[in-house]
Amino acid sequence: MAGGHVALFPLPFQGHLSPALQLADALHGRGLAITVLHTTFNALDPAAHPEFGFVAVADGGMPDAKDGIGKILAMNDAMEESGCVRDALAALEPRPSCLVIDTSLPAAQKAATELGMPTVVLHTGSAAAIRLFRSYAMLHDKGYLPAQEHELDKPVKELAPIRVSDLFDPSKYPNPEMANRLLDTATEVTDNSSGVVINTFEALETPELEAIRSELAASGVGVFAIGPLHKLSAIGGAGSSLLEADRSCIEWLDAQAAGSVLYVSFGSVAPVSREDFEEVAWGLANSGRPFLWVVRRGLVIGSGAEDVELPEGFERAAEGRGKVVRWAPQQEVLGHRAVDGFWTHSGWNSTLEGICEGVPMLCRPLFGDQLANGRYVEEVWRTGALLAGKLERGKVAEAIARFMEGDDGAAMRERAKEL
């Protein structure tokens, strides 16, 4: 193409791959040639996107890493040691005008810098979460961190409406040094970039975007809200998913009454305990509401790559009202006339998709930026409610009833449609 050439290197996890490929598609639609660098871990299928060039880089096979942070750091160390990213970039013809990277890929930024190639950071989280993660020095200086049990409900006045319980606390991580290293890396990669693009939109996060722009102005780093990317690209969730969607759920939704179904999905990565899983299951079964529940392989801690076993008697109790699938075409589900509620882990892609489809959210954040996203959904955007505390099937059923039928739920629906 005559319009130029852009290379992208997304982090190889579902929540990062989807917006990166959607950005690539949007740029390609505007006349740019696209090359996607990808790892062998969670490798992309080039045949699914013949319009892009793909180059595999050695990632070291994620050696001896059992968790997400460990995998990311190990991958960077392996790529920097081998020089594979630099070699891959140097071999591209024509030379890309820039490399679009994730904040967790310092090895890629270093390789591009050595070649004199500018880097642009794609932030796949909310502007609110970015602002929060860039504030960890202040949070320690002000005594919010390490978090104390008796202060978890304390407001963080410098980052309203955030509370201490919404903070990712590295001291609670099995390896605090690794967690702090990843936070520091994200800040450094952003500060050393030529620009930052964020998968959000101005009307949703004006104060947060203005705060980030003000902070980065001294470094000459421009900040641009370019989302929602899933609405600007022809690549939907299915086109960028590492998991195969079960489309039988769409036929099932077609047979349900308008505005009757609660859609439940806790994302593609985070696991839940067996105890919580069973309380969710029986809460759904006892709620009396139709529901579509995504139970992917690996959802329950210890289940590995196997199908998760549903509680004995659950399918009989939910017969005629509930459908369980391994994975769903989420954007299509949220846009379906039958769906009127979304129980979510508050990952940013899911949150943004819920907002864009005008579907109110019942939020059960699990870790990281999900905590801040859930807080903003409840207190700033007012399009949902947090489901806090210990999960108990009776309370879960009551919460679903209030959410789907009560006055609070009606107000959330009105606000969601306004947004």
> Among 34, 31, 33, which Cα is nearest to 20's?
34
Distance CA 117, CA 113 (A): 6
Tell me how crowded residue 138 is: count the other CB atoms within 10 A of its CB. Answer: 13
In this structure, what token pair is assigned to residue 30?
A: 């505007």
- Residue 336 annotated to the active site: no
The phi and psi torsions of 254 (rounded to 5 degrees) equal -60, -30
| Torsion region of 306: left, alpha or beta (phi above 0 gives left; psi -120 to 50 gives alpha) | beta
Catalytic residue among 16, 38, 123, 230: 16
- Residue 102 annotated to the active site: yes
Q: What is the 3-state secondary structure (H, E, C) of the chain?
A: CCCCEEEEECCCCHHHHHHHHHHHHHHHCCCCEEEEEEECCCCCCHHHCCCCEEEEECCCCCCCCCCHHHHHHHHHHHHHHHCHHHHHHHCCCCCCCEEEECCCCHHHHHHHHHCCCCEEEEECCCHHHHHHHCCHHHHHHCCCCCCCHHHCCCECHHHCCCEHHHCCCHHHCCCHHHHHHHHHHHHHHHHCCCEEEECCCHHHHHHHHHHHHHHHHCCCCEEEECCCHHHHCCCCCHHHCCCCCCCHHHHHHHCCCCCCEEEEECCCCCCECHHHHHHHHHHHHHHCCCEEEECCCCCECCCCCCCCCCCCCHHHHCCCCEEEECCCCHHHHHCCCCEEEEEECCCHHHHHHHHHCCCCEEECCCCCCHHHHHHHHHHCCCCEEECCCCCCHHHHHHHHHHHHHCHHHHHHHHHHHHC
Distance CA 58, CA 84 (A): 6
> Among 78, 67, 125, 132, which Cα is nearest to 106's?
78
Catalytic residue among 28, 49, 59, 102: 102
Q: Amino acid identity, residue 43?
A: A
Which residues are known to be catalytic? 16, 102
